[in-house]
Structure 1
Amino acid sequence: MKSFKIIIALVVIASVISCNNKRKPQVQYMPDMYVAVPYEANGADGLNGKMVDRDPVAGTVSRNGIVAYDIPDTNEGYEKAKAELKNPLPTTEVNLEKGKELYGIYCASCHGTKGDGNGVLSQRDKFNGIPNYKDRELTPGNIYHVIMYGKNLMGSHASQLQYKERWQVVQYVEKLRSELK
């Protein structure tokens, strides 16, 4: 009987204590969980005062396979890429097949499967004036530059294609261009 009275007393005390002012903070078991130090995700100071979101040092190459591209997105950069940039990949059937596959995914809807500028979007009058590859003075460098930054209505495809894939598309575009002549 004595234990029953103790249990009733504890229930009554817990009920009274729980009816306190809810707007005033009560005892906190782990205060660091309730009152955390906020960090701005893109701020200058990150965790422990370390800097975050800084640009890498000029000329460095990422370790995850991303190759730095230092040519700027300007008319001068376009001309520089046109004159100086060369395809580092050997022309092989594997590279051409992969380039054809990627071209079909990212390029053919506008440029057409033959590179004649007569893709599905051009046929449906969504985009007009898509150039024919044979009508342009193209080099591997300026094709790569346009894939990186885009030109006129064409947007950049740098986020969709990795370094090697861009060069494979360049090889396939050169093949299409030679077949159009």
Structure 2
Amino acid sequence: MKGSILAMNKNKIVAASFVLLAFVATLSACKDNKSTGLEYARNMYDPLAYNPDQPNNNFANGQTAQTPPANTNPIGFVKYEYANTKEGYEAAGANLKNPLPHSEQNLLSGKHYYTVFCGPCHGDNGDGKGHLVQIEKYAGVPAYHGDAASSRGGAMSDLSEGKIYHTIMYGLNNMGSHASQLTPDQRWKVVMYVQQLQKIQ
């Protein structure tokens, strides 16, 4: 009998404590309309670092985002030395060589990137009949093999690796630049695969 009364008192104490805690939490949440109440781990949504557009007294110009020092490049940045001109195109064609080894793995990667980025216009076989051409969205897309002529002169099947790379970098005619979509290594893999397509009879 005494044990059951003690157990009932414990249950009442626990229930009363829970009600009191809920009441205090409700009251503290309602005291300020702008308050979010109890906040857990504030540093998860109040960053310690400055935001790029936030004023910053640590710099003379009062800005957080600073212009990089002259003649510096981001980590991993590869500078492309050839201008987007006919002269730059010819110089790239004469001087640029694929730095990647000709391997089955590089060729497979090149085929993948080609299918994703080039195939919609140039076609999976490099015949200039990709699905965007077939639905008449674009016209005049050249084939990489056969007698197709480049708009810059010469046959598409004779384009050097440097000229292909230069065209991927800057684009040409309806083709936009793919420099932001493909890293330098990925571009060279695409070049490697395009050169395979050039050999199709």
Tell me whether the two structures share a fold, i.e. TM-score over 0.5. Answer: yes
Residues 46 and 82 of structure 1: CA distance in aligned 2, closer, same or farther (over 3 Å):
farther
Residues 155 and 46 of structure 1: CA distance in aligned 2, closer, same or farther (over 3 Å):
farther
- CA–CA distance in structure 2, aligned partners of residues 157 and 115 of structure 1: 17
Does structure 1 residue 107 correspond to structure 2 residue 118? yes
Does structure 1 residue 160 correspond to structure 2 residue 181? yes
Q: Equivalent residues in 2 for 1:9-88 (5 A)?
A: 48-49=59-60, 52-54=66-68, 57=71, 62-63=74-75, 65-88=76-99
SS in 2 for 1:66: coil
Residues 88 and 155 of structure 1: CA distance in aligned 2, closer, same or farther (over 3 Å):
same
| Residue 70 of structure 1, CA deviation | 1.3
Relative to structure 2, which stretch is displaced further, 45-54 or 81-90?
Answer: 45-54
Paired position in structure 2 for 1:95: 106
Amino acid of the residue matched to residue 104 of structure 2?
E
SS in 1 for 2:193: helix
Calculate the TM-score normalised by the size of structure 1. 0.68
Q: Deviations over 1:123-156 (max 9, x none)?
A: 1111000001122231100110111111111000
| Residue 56 of structure 1, CA deviation | 5.1
- CA–CA distance in structure 2, aligned partners of residues 56 and 161 of structure 1: 26
| Residue 53 of structure 1, CA deviation | 3.0
- CA–CA distance in structure 2, aligned partners of residues 166 and 112 of structure 1: 17
| Residue 67 of structure 1, CA deviation | 1.3
| Residue 49 of structure 1, CA deviation | 2.5
Note the residue ranges of structure 1 that are not aligned, 5 or more in a row: 1-38
| Residue pair 1:73, 1:149 contacting (<8 A) in 2 also | yes
Q: Deviations over 1:9-68 (max 9, x none)?
A: xxxxxxxxxxxxxxxxxxxxxxxxxxxxxx995xxx9950278334751xx6642x2311
Paired position in structure 2 for 1:15: none
Does structure 1 residue 139 correspond to structure 2 residue 160? yes
Does structure 1 residue 128 correspond to structure 2 residue 139? yes
- CA–CA distance in structure 1, aligned partners of residues 142 and 100 of structure 2: 26
Tell me the matched-pair count.
Answer: 136
Q: Deviations over 1:58-115 (max 9, x none)?
A: xx6642x231111111111111111111100010001000001111110100000000
Paired position in structure 1 for 2:24: none
Q: Which runs of 4+ in 1 moved over 2 A?
A: 49-56, 60-63
Residues 118 and 47 of structure 1: CA distance in aligned 2, closer, same or farther (over 3 Å):
farther
Residues 54 and 118 of structure 1: CA distance in aligned 2, closer, same or farther (over 3 Å):
same
Amino acid of the residue matched to residue 53 of structure 1?
T
Calculate the TM-score normalised by the size of structure 2. 0.62
